[in-house]
Chain A
Amino acid sequence: MLAVVAPLVIITVVLREASTENTILEALREEYSRVHQSGVDHGKHEILQQDFTNPHLITAACLSCHTERGKEVLGNAHWNWEREAFIPGKGVTYLGKKSLINNFCTGIASNEGTCNRCHIGYGWKDKSFDFTNEYNIDCLVCHDNTGTYEKARGGAGYPVMGPAGPDFRKIVANVGRPTRTNCGYCHFHGGGGNNVKHGDLEMALLTADRTIDVHMGVDGMNLQCVDCHPAENHQMLGRYYGVSSSNTQRATCEQCHTSVPHTINKLNEHTVKVACQTCHIPVYAKVNATKMSWDWSTATRRKEGLPYQELDSLGNELFTSIKGDFTWQRMVKPEYVWHNGTADHHLCMEKIDLNDLPLRINTLFGEYRDRGSKIYPTKVHRGNQPYDTEYLTIIQPKLWDAEPGKGALWIDLNWEEALIRGMEYADLPYSGKHDFIPTEMFLPVNHMVSLASEALDCKDCHTRENGRLANLTDFYMPGRDYNAGIDTFGQLLILLSLLGVIMHGSVRFIIHRKAKVNPNT
Chain B
Amino acid sequence: MENTKKVYVYKGFERFWHWTQAFLIMFLALTGFEIHSSYSLFGFDVAVDLHNKAAWAFIVLIVFAIFWHITTGEWKQYLPTTQNLRAQAEFYIFGIFRNAPHPTKKTLISKLNPLQRLVYLGLKILIIPVMVVSGLFYMFYRYPHSGVIKSANIESLEIIALLHTLGAFLLIAFLVVHLYLITTGHTVTSNLKAMITGWEELEEEAEPEEKAEAKENP
Contact = CB atoms under 8 A, between A and B. Distances in A.
Contacts of B44: 457-459, 462, 479
Contact of B53 (A6, A15, A368, A369): A15
Contacts of B90: none
Given A10-B60, A476-B161, A501-B177, A494 B169 contact: yes
Given A11-B53, A475-B156, A486-B169, A272 B35 contact: no
Tell which of A15, A266, A458, A490 has the most Cβ of chain B within 10 Å: A490
A145 to B, nearest CB: 45
B132 to A, nearest CB: 16
A3 interface: yes
A504 B37 contact: no
A508 B99 CA distance: 9
Given A10-B20, A486-B165, A493-B173, A508 B96 contact: yes
B48 A482 contact: no
A476 B43 CA distance: 20
Nearest to A10: B57
B19 A4 contact: yes
Contacts of A479: 35-37, 44
Contact of A490 (B52, B143, B147, B165): B165
Given A2-B12, A14-B53, A493 B169 contact: yes
A487 B164 CA distance: 12
A483 B56 CA distance: 26
What is the interface of chain B mostly: helix, strand, loop, or mixed?
Answer: helix
Given A11-B54, A478-B35, A501 B176 contact: yes
A405 interface: no
A10 B24 CA distance: 11
A487 B172 CA distance: 13
Nearest to B176: A497
Contacts of B57: 7, 10-11, 14
Contacts, number: 123
Nearest to B13: A2
B53 A266 contact: no
A329 B191 CA distance: 67
Chain A, interface size category, equals 35 or more
Interface string B135-174: 0000000111111000000011110011001101110110
A38 to B, nearest CB: 45
B157 A476 contact: yes
Interface in A1-32: 2-4, 6-7, 10-11, 14-15
A505 interface: yes
B97 A511 contact: yes
Given A486-B162, A487-B165, A14 B56 contact: yes
B101 to A, nearest CB: 15
B102 interface: no
Tell which of A7, A458, A464, A482 has the most Cβ of chain B within 10 Å: A7
Contact of B142 (A4, A269, A487, A493): A269
B183 interface: yes
Contacts of B157: 475-476, 478
Given A501-B177, A505-B183, A494 B144 contact: no
A98 interface: no
A266 B45 contact: yes
B36 A272 contact: no
A501 B172 CA distance: 13
B111 interface: no
A153 interface: no
Contacts of B37: 462-464, 479-480, 482
Nearest to B32: A478
B16 interface: yes
A435 interface: no
A515 interface: yes
Closest 7 CB pairs of A and B: A490-B169, A501-B180, A476-B158, A3-B19, A458-B44, A497-B176, A7-B20
Given A7-B24, A486-B162, 20 more contacts: A4-B19, A6-B20, A11-B53, A15-B53, A266-B48, A266-B49, A272-B142, A475-B143, A475-B156, A475-B157, A476-B156, A478-B161, A479-B37, A481-B158, A482-B37, A486-B165, A490-B169, A490-B170, A500-B177, A504-B180
Interface of B: 12, 15-16, 18-20, 23-24, 35-37, 43-45, 48-49, 52-54, 56-57, 60-61, 92, 96-97, 99, 142-147, 155-158, 161-162, 165-166, 168-170, 172-173, 176-177, 179-180, 183, 196
16 contacts: A2-B16, A371-B145, A457-B45, A458-B44, A462-B35, A475-B143, A479-B37, A490-B165, A490-B170, A490-B172, A493-B169, A493-B170, A493-B173, A494-B173, A500-B177, A508-B97
